[in-house]
């Protein structure tokens, strides 16, 4: 218990003193996970909406694959991304292994099925006659899709929170494709694992507390936006 208290005190000391290394790691974590979440939002909403509004053979199989992807193990994603961007891999010429760019790719792959699954479910749960009503008012198909997405904005914000929460806290893929390089690709989760392995439990707990605070503040902001749209 004393160790935990020391870790919490250490976390606030690092935050109050604006420790340069901790601030750098925190900013990089936010930048990588934020970018990955934004990419996953664009891809996930687009594909999820398309699948929800389109009837085609094998649709249930596709939905099952999307739902399975929502629980995609980060280490598996890290493995495949590493193989693809490895020096001798298909995209090895990009030379982005052990860089923040590789971490963004891996985290975007992890978050996309989460956003996609929630988007798909939210569109499917809208009243069935809503599409016909929108089209009967003279709207084009593109306008109809836009209205349906706007009607689903509350679940979509939940999708953003779920996607961001999934990637800001993952560690397996980040270590595999980022390499945990000090001052370059070290983020809060990988730094926590490293300090734990070194036996610096007070610093590890401090980094864990900072990670929790960061995730809480981001989700607090998104929740505020969500509830402002739905004041009941």
pLDDT (tens digit per residue) in 32-86: 999 999 999 999 999 999 998 888 899 999 999 999 999 889 999 999 999 999 9
Summarize the confidence of residues 110-115 as an average pLDDT. Answer: 94
pLDDT in tens, 94-104: 999 999 999 99
Q: Which residue has the tokens 């249930």?
A: 60
- 8-33 pLDDT tens trace: 777 777 778 877 888 899 899 999 99
Neighbours of 113 (CB within 10 A): 24
Residue among 193, 168, 200 nearest 179 (CA): 193
Domains of the chain: 2-229 (1.10.3720.10)
Q: What is the pLDDT of residues 165-186, one digit of tens each?
A: 889 989 999 999 999 998 899 9
Do 29 and 214 meet the contact criterion of CB atoms below 8 Å apart?
Answer: yes
Q: Is the pLDDT of residue 151 over 70?
A: yes
Neighbours of 93 (CB within 10 A): 9
Mean pLDDT of the chain: 87
123 pLDDT higher than 70: yes
Band the pLDDT of 230: cuts 50, 70, 90: low
Q: Tens digit of pLDDT for each residue in 200-211?
A: 887 888 888 888
pLDDT at residue number 21: 84
**What pLDDT, on the 0 to 100 scale, is given for residue 232?**
54
Q: How confident is the model at residue 93 (pLDDT cuts 50, 70, 90)?
A: very high
Query: CA distances (Å), 13 to each of 103, 122, 194, in order?
Result: 29, 43, 20
Q: Which residue, 3, 11, 27, is CA-closest to 206?
A: 11
pLDDT, position 209: 85
Distance CA 200, CA 212 (A): 19
Which pLDDT value is given to residue 76? 93
């Amino acid at each position: 218990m004393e160790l935990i208290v020391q870790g919490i005190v250490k976390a606030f000391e690092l935050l109050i003193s604006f420790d340069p290394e901790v601030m750098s790691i925190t900013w990089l974590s936010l930048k990588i996970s934020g970018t990955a979440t934004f990419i996953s939002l664009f891809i996930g909403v687009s594909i999820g909406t398309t699948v929800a509004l389109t009837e085609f053979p094998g649709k249930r199989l596709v939905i099952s694959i999307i739902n399975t992807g929502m629980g995609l193990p980060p280490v598996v994603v890290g493995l495949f991304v590493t193989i693809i961007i490895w020096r001798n891999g298909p995209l090895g010429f990009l030379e982005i292994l052990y860089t923040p760019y590789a971490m963004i790719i891996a985290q975007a792959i992890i978050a996309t099925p989460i956003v996609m699954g929630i988007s798909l479910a939210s569109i499917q749960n809208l009243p069935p006659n809503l599409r016909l009503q929108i089209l009967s008012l003279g709207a084009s198909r593109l306008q109809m899709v836009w209205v349906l997405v706007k009607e689903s904005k509350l679940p979509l914000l939940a999708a953003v929170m779920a996607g961001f929460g999934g990637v800001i806290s993952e560690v397996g893929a980040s270590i595999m494709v980022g390499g945990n390089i000090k001052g370059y690709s070290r983020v809060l989760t990988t730094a926590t694992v490293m300090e734990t392995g070194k036996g610096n439990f007070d610093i590890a707990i401090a980094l864990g507390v900072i990670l929790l605070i960061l995730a809480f503040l981001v989700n607090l902001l998104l929740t505020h936006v969500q509830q402002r749209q739905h004041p009941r």
